[in-house]
């Protein structure tokens, strides 16, 4: 489960009081490890996601930023012109030593008991912050640059492809078993614009990373991806992350059985009575079928989510069984036992 959107764990909130700067929390090895292990220790999930942010690598290729408590990410000098591009330089992975160290420690701490998950932002999504300068609801500056200065945006996105690819390989070599690519704001583009301004750059990253780390599964997530599913599959990733605006059954029909899916449970269900949450988890798992589904939320855990609901989610997940067991039967024959 991602908890990016929410500071729902009391232990995290307490630690954040002591270390109020997000950059300090996410750029100090001991704190990264401690925070990453908090949900693992509380709920024992199958995956431990490194505590970091999609913006963390920015300073290592020339873009200073901050993550403020109320405003969220702030880029000090947004890039909107050729002049602005001059600030960019190749990624200096030594400046991200804390990510490498944390992944190595996490891998050692969890052993074979859980997968260690790394992540990056997709070029388009990272570019929305670099161009807009902060969180936006309309994306009007970057969308207009697609038409007024396409060469600037293309140069920025190409730079991001190189930096992000190197950063993924660095995470894998440091111990990440799997990498999730967040194109969180890809769903803000009309599909034909996504084809032009996001997909080719993701395809390039997938191809660079596959050469260096052919065995590492890649997950692609887009917020609001119902209209982009087939296009997402064409990027060549292994797993498609689904938000909750598309029905799991429809998504499976569109995507076919040769690609895995993740997510789909609306994070707001964690605020519902527990039996309703149970029913929804079972419904999603039934629709997804016995193979190739990573049970997860359709986005991060929301602020204010009761920790008991998260614990319940994992209890239910651990007790789900297919009869006959998945290993013994061909796709589609096994039934979920409830
Ligand atoms: O201190 C805090 O709690 C601030 C909130 C916060 C947190 C917990 C931010 C600021 N980043 C994070 C960590 C983070 N970021 C994780 C957590 C790893 C874990 O589960 O422990 C992850 C996976 C991210 C990734 C991330 N950051 C995304 C992609 C995932 C998604 O939500 O779609 C995005 C878009 C960001 C940008 C970001 N970071 C933080 C904020 C407030 C924002 C802006 C969101 C926006 O623009 O609306």
Tens-digit pLDDT profile for residues 156-181:
999 999 999 999 999 999 999 999 99
Whether the per-residue pLDDT at 17 is higher than 80: the answer is yes
The angle that helices 307-319 and 274-288 make with each other, rounded to 10 degrees, is 40
Q: What is the pLDDT of residue 328?
A: 65
Spatial neighbors of 222 by CB under 8 A, at least 6 apart, are 183, 184, 186, 187, 228, 232, 241, 243
Is the minimum distance from the CB of 170 to ligand 1 under 6 angstroms?
Answer: no
Residue with tokens 């990056």, as numbered in its chain = 120
Q: SS3 of 116, please?
A: strand
Question: What's this model's pTM, rounded to 2 decimal places?
Answer: 0.95
Is the minimum distance from the CB of 7 to ligand 1 under 6 angstroms?
Answer: yes
Q: Tell me: the pLDDT tens digits for 24-76?
A: 999 999 999 999 999 999 999 999 999 999 999 999 999 999 999 889 999 99
Q: Residue 190 and residue 202: Cα distance in Å, rounded?
A: 17
Q: How far is the CA of 304 from the centre of ligand 1 (A)?
A: 15
Whether the per-residue pLDDT at 90 is higher than 70: the answer is yes
Atom of ligand 1 nearest to the CA of 221: 33
Which 3-state string (H, E, C) describes 15-67? Answer: HHHHCCCHHHHHHCHHHHHHHHHHHHHHHCCCEEECCCCCCHHHHHHCCCEEE
Q: What is the pLDDT of residue 332?
A: 56
Q: How far is the CA of 319 from the centre of ligand 1 (A)?
A: 30
Atom of ligand 1 nearest to the CA of 67: 10
> 282-295 as b/e, with b when 16 or more CB fall inside 10 Å?
ebbbbbbbbebbbb
Q: What average pLDDT does range 95-105 have in this prediction?
A: 98
Question: ∠ at Cα 281 (309, 295), nearest 5°?
Answer: 95
């Amino acid at each position: 489960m991602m908890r990016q959107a929410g500071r729902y764990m009391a232990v995290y909130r307490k630690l954040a009081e002591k270390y109020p700067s997000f950059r300090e929390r996410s750029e100090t090895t001991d704190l990264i490890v401690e925070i990453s292990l908090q949900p693992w220790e509380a709920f024992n999930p199958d995956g431990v996601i490194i505590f970091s942010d999609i913006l963390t690598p920015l300073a290592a290729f020339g873009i200073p930023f901050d993550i403020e408590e109320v405003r969220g990410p702030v880029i000090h000098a947004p890039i909107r012109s050729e002049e602005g591009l001059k600030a960019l330089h190749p990624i200096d992975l030594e400046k991200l030593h804390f990510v490498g160290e944390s992944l190595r420690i996490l891998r050692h701490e969890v052993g074979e008991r859980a997968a260690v998950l790394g992540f990056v932002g997709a070029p388009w999504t990272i570019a929305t912050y670099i161009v807009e300068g902060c969180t936006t609801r309309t994306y009007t500056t970057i969308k207009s640059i697609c038409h007024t200065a396409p060469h600037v945006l293309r140069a920025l996105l190409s730079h991001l492809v190189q930096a992000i690819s190197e950063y993924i390989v660095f995470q894998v070599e440091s111990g990440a078993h799997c990498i999730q690519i967040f194109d969180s704001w890809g769903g803000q583009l009309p599909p034909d614009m996504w084809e032009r301004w996001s997909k080719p750059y993701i395809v390039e990253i997938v191809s660079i990373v596959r050469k260096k780390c052919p065995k590492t599964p890649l997950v692609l997530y887009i917020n609001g991806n119902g209209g982009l599913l087939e296009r997402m599959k064409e990027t060549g990733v292994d797993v498609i992350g689904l938000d909750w605006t598309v029905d799991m059954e429809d998504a499976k029909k569109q995507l076919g059985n040769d690609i895995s899916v993740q997510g789909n449970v609306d994070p707001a269900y964690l605020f519902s009575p527990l039996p309703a949450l149970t029913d929804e988890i079972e419904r999603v798992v039934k629709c997804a079928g016995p193979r190739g589904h990573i049970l997860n939320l359709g986005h991060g855990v929301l602020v204010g989510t009761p920790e008991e609901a998260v614990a319940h989610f994992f209890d239910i997940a651990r007790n789900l069984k297919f009869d006959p067991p998945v290993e013994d039967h061909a796709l589609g024959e096994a039934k979920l036992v409830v």
